[in-house]
Structure 1
Amino acid sequence: MDMKPQPFTPPAPIPRTTPPTRLEIIRTVMRNPLELWGKPTYTARWLKTAFFNDRTLIVNDPGLIRHVLVDNVKNYELAVVRQLVLRPILRDGLLTAEGQVWKRSRKAMAPVFTPRHSRGFALQMLAKSREYAAKYEGGGRYDISVDMTELTYAILSETLFSGDIVSQTDDFAGDIDRLLSTMGRVDPLDLLKAPKWLPRLARMRGQGVLEKFRDIVRQTMRLRKEQMARDPEGVPEDFLTLLLRQEGPEGLSESEIADNIITFIGAGHETTARALGWTLYCLANAPAERQAIEAEIDTVTADEPDPVKWLERMPLTRAAFEEAMRLYPPAPSINRQAIAADRWTAPDGEVVEIEKGTTVLVMPWVLHRHETLWEKPRAFKPERFHPENRDRIDRFQYLPFGVGPRVCIGATFAMQEAVIALAVLMGRFRFDCTAATDPWPVQKLTTQPAGGLPMRVTPRFNERAAAA
């Protein structure tokens, strides 16, 4: 008799069974784009449709995804709607820059995010995780969604900026939420591709918090420049210093440096924060998985003090984080637009014609839940990512960090940060749901839990002492 418990199925919109009207599209996109997609989107290899007369190709076939994002990437630029949403916040930051500006920025930042350099941040990640975890010593109830935003911000500040970000707020998580709730969402005028000069009312409400972040960046840059001039040998060799040393006619402009700093402050940590929160939530509802991970963490941390080695030695912990990113991808949509007409031939001979100007949607939210690519796609099953099973996952069916030239530059950094944070948090505490824990995934810039993640945190040392 099979006594293995059924896997936990976390909350998510049920695919629509009827096409939305234009008014429903506007309302749904404004409220939560994740609720827009219908049953065919989760079953078809690709799907041609139109939004407000805009030709759209939804792509789920890994081969076609590779064609668009890698093999013929030069034919696909960032989609207009995506840029209308993100550029007001990030301007010429790495996520939104194009052409030579993007190439200069990517080249300037690449040395900071090599695997070797990322490994050098491990001890700082460990120290900040331990420092933050101290707040849970007495147990209690906490909004883990807020806490993970604060923790990843603390790690980002310490590793990439040597703790020198000029802070102006005691409510950083709240400011981030206000920024993404106002400026990180699609406006009806974006869907209509209205001119940029037409005001978007929601974004007008977010201008104040955006200016607060930009003022933080200006002050941080000014103070570091003064330090570089005063003591060039003693300045920290971090992300901030590296960017400022790229300033000049052949490198980055002052505004481009500021845009990249705000990209990392406002968005770079946000993706990891959301994924950590969803991981703790899913594991709270999968006690057998959680127990195995706690045992793994206890074993590894007892005999391996070097956190650099934890990523390799904690495959169950890593798998749970990766499965949470499958179900709740930090970046739920990748949008491109065809510069010229294109075609792709599938292995079975079927041809996909892509007209000039077509919007191509590669949506990790849909792709990661696609019924032909995943067994029980809506269920939380970390075993998919256990070492013995990883080869079954096509490189182009799982895209938590994107793929191709614009793959997330901080992927290695984020994976290491996540495993270290989970090892510290779950090694010392247990996170359980409460009667108030009822999250609903909402697409803003990232996949966020509406209502937060209120959870009960209890120290685990009592449990270990009893077991001994």
Structure 2
Amino acid sequence: MTVSNLPPKPVSRGEKVSLRQYVRLFRKDILSAQPARLYRAWMAEFRTPFFRSYLMNQPELVKTVLKERPDDFPKSGRISEGLRPLLGNSVFLTNGDTWKRQRRIIDPAFEGGRLRETFPAIWAASEAALARLDGFAGSEVEIEEHTSHAAADVIFRTLFSIPIEHEIASEVFHEFRAYQRSQPILNIAAFVPLPRWMPRFFRADTRAAAAKIRGLITQLTAERMAQIEAATAPNDLATKIMTTADPVTGERFSTEEMVDQVAIFFLAGHETSASALAWALYLMAQFPDWQDKVAAEAEAGLANDFSAMSKLKISRDVFRETLRLYPPVPMMVRQNTCPERFRDREIKTGSQIVLSPWHLHRHERLWDNPDGFDPARWGTENGKSCMRDAYMPFSSGSRVCTGAGFAMIEGVLILSMILRKYRVSLTDRAAPEPVAHLTVRAKDGIFLRLDPRA
């Protein structure tokens, strides 16, 4: 690999822009709205007339916020405003005792042996994805559409034991794609402190798509509640979560609460996995030597057996490196509940604390060859050190993504299965431009050529 052959990266803006210009850039794309100096800064301050934001890249500060004192830095309500129509009061948006109760009910569904139990459903969804790709062999394909389809299929098979072809599952998938395209990562409430009674100015199509998705999920959830009561429910993730009682209160999720959680499972489990897998396939087309290694490894060790996952070490490193370069959730926002002093700066209560996997994963003072694609880095001392201190594609600490292990199984398996059967290569189109909507996606899609392997 040569350093000049770098994966695509957004062009950073200039240093001097007005607040109005910044808000416009931010709503268009959160990544290119940031100045290039953030790839070297340990901490940076951004001021508005209403609040202060502090981006923190120094590993010690990130550790303080996420691991050592998470209760002092709850999730920012400003960021949740834009996602509330879809996610309601889900575990992704809540804080404090409400969040802790939700995690006590959800976490057991993703522990240890549950990954092994869900593996057959993930395998079946992967085979279905290959069957859909068969119709595009020998031609150009927009790969994000297919990774979205595959990731959604995984969610429905593991959560509700239904394939994506199921009528309701298919409708949720198509409505969610419309929502993803219409929903900016932030709305006006992220910049201006609006009173609770004031409208949040959501676009009509965004509200309509969110309402439609929640209505369909409510239908699935109510049907599952009835199956549980009739003792006919399959033993999948939805049943596990809906029958788990909070060990502290003894309460279970109501149907409405479960709808909130299913919405975030779909967002976190579908959007993020689809994003990472599409970028992984693009990188494999850009770096064919690594693609051949993944394909050879899959040919030798891949099998419909959970234990075979331990043999896919190269594919795992490739997927891990993809998550470093293209973390699906590029920024996380917390706020401090008491006055702080970080790097000799006074941080007033209620300030926005921005933790940016996008900048931390490419930080020039932490990583060797930060913008380069190098899956072998994870075996180096620098890679191991950064893995501990500067790598958080699934967040970190107590709020680490519940489905992190699930995502690594899904991504590695589907990547290996696709590359065992097909060779992907670049087309004559321009390189995809990463932009951040709900997740890091390509502005105009990712087009690859798909050819069967001999």
TM-score normalised by structure 2 residue count: 0.92
Is 1:451 matched up with 2:444?
Answer: yes
Instruction: For 2:153 and 2:168, locate their aligned partners in 1 and report how far apart those are by CA, in whole Å.
Output: 14
Match of 2:407 in 1: 414
Is 1:13 matched up with 2:13?
Answer: no
Q: Secondary structure at the match of 1:458?
A: strand
64-73 vs 305-314, which moves further: 305-314
Match of 2:159 in 1: 160
Match of 2:418 in 1: 425
Q: Secondary structure at the match of 2:193?
A: coil
Match of 1:24 in 2: 21
Q: Secondary structure at the match of 2:150?
A: helix
Counterpart contact for 1:62–1:394, Cα < 8 Å: no
Instruction: For 1:202 and 1:379, locate their aligned partners in 2 and report how far apart those are by CA, in whole Å.
Output: 38
Give 1:359's aligned amino acid: Q
Give 2:209's aligned amino acid: V
Distance apart, 1:252 and its partner CA: 2.5
Instruction: For 1:391 and 1:269, locate their aligned partners in 2 and report how far apart those are by CA, in whole Å.
Output: 28
Match of 1:190 in 2: 190
Is 1:391 matched up with 2:381?
Answer: no
Match of 1:288 in 2: 289
Instruction: For 1:67 and 1:331, locate their aligned partners in 2 and report how far apart those are by CA, in whole Å.
Output: 20
Is 1:50 matched up with 2:79?
Answer: no
Give 2:297's aligned amino acid: E
Taking a change above 3 Å as real, the CA distance of residues 311 and 184 of structure 1, as seen in their structure-2 partners, is farther
Instruction: For 2:169 and 2:394, locate their aligned partners in 1 and report how far apart those are by CA, in whole Å.
Output: 29
Distance apart, 1:294 and its partner CA: 1.5
Counterpart contact for 1:56–1:360, Cα < 8 Å: yes
Taking a change above 3 Å as real, the CA distance of residues 308 and 169 of structure 1, as seen in their structure-2 partners, is closer
Aligned match of 1:374 in 348, 367, 371?
367
Report the count of equivalent residues.
448
Taking a change above 3 Å as real, the CA distance of residues 198 and 178 of structure 1, as seen in their structure-2 partners, is farther
**Structure-to-structure mapping, 1:257-296, within 5 angstroms:** 257-296=258-297
Is 1:125 matched up with 2:118?
Answer: no
Instruction: For 1:202 and 1:221, locate their aligned partners in 2 and report how far apart those are by CA, in whole Å.
Output: 26
Taking a change above 3 Å as real, the CA distance of residues 267 and 176 of structure 1, as seen in their structure-2 partners, is farther
Distance apart, 1:439 and its partner CA: 1.7
Give 2:34's aligned amino acid: W
Taking a change above 3 Å as real, the CA distance of residues 168 and 83 of structure 1, as seen in their structure-2 partners, is same
Taking a change above 3 Å as real, the CA distance of residues 15 and 272 of structure 1, as seen in their structure-2 partners, is same
Q: Secondary structure at the match of 2:31?
A: helix
Instruction: For 1:168 and 1:120, locate their aligned partners in 2 and report how far apart those are by CA, in whole Å.
Output: 24
Taking a change above 3 Å as real, the CA distance of residues 314 and 246 of structure 1, as seen in their structure-2 partners, is closer
Give 1:250's aligned amino acid: E
Distance apart, 1:184 and its partner CA: 4.5
Match of 2:394 in 1: 401
Distance apart, 1:129 and its partner CA: 0.5
Taking a change above 3 Å as real, the CA distance of residues 195 and 186 of structure 1, as seen in their structure-2 partners, is same
What CA RMSD, in Å, does the superposition of the two structures yield over aligned residues? 2.3
Counterpart contact for 1:52–1:191, Cα < 8 Å: no
Q: Secondary structure at the match of 2:155?
A: helix
Q: Deviations over 1:241-269 (max 9, x none)?
A: 12332489823233211100111123322
Distance apart, 1:168 and its partner CA: 3.8
Counterpart contact for 2:285–2:291, Cα < 8 Å: yes
**Structure-to-structure mapping, 1:198-277, within 5 angstroms:** 198-230=198-230, 232=231, 234-246=232-244, 250-277=251-278
Distance apart, 1:459 and its partner CA: 0.9
Q: Deviations over 1:209-234 (max 9, x none)?
A: 1122111111112222222233x1x4
Taking a change above 3 Å as real, the CA distance of residues 174 and 455 of structure 1, as seen in their structure-2 partners, is farther
Match of 1:69 in 2: 66
Q: Deviations over 1:345-385 (max 9, x none)?
A: xxxxx645432122110111111111101122122222222
Match of 1:327 in 2: 325
Q: Percent identity?
A: 28
Match of 2:79 in 1: 82
Taking a change above 3 Å as real, the CA distance of residues 389 and 122 of structure 1, as seen in their structure-2 partners, is farther
Counterpart contact for 1:146–1:173, Cα < 8 Å: no
Instruction: For 2:83 and 2:361, locate their aligned partners in 1 and report how far apart those are by CA, in whole Å.
Output: 23
Distance apart, 1:394 and its partner CA: 4.3
Match of 1:465 in 2: none
Q: Secondary structure at the match of 2:47?
A: strand
Give 1:315's aligned amino acid: K
Instruction: For 2:261 and 2:199, locate their aligned partners in 1 and report how far apart those are by CA, in whole Å.
Output: 25
Give 1:300's aligned amino acid: G
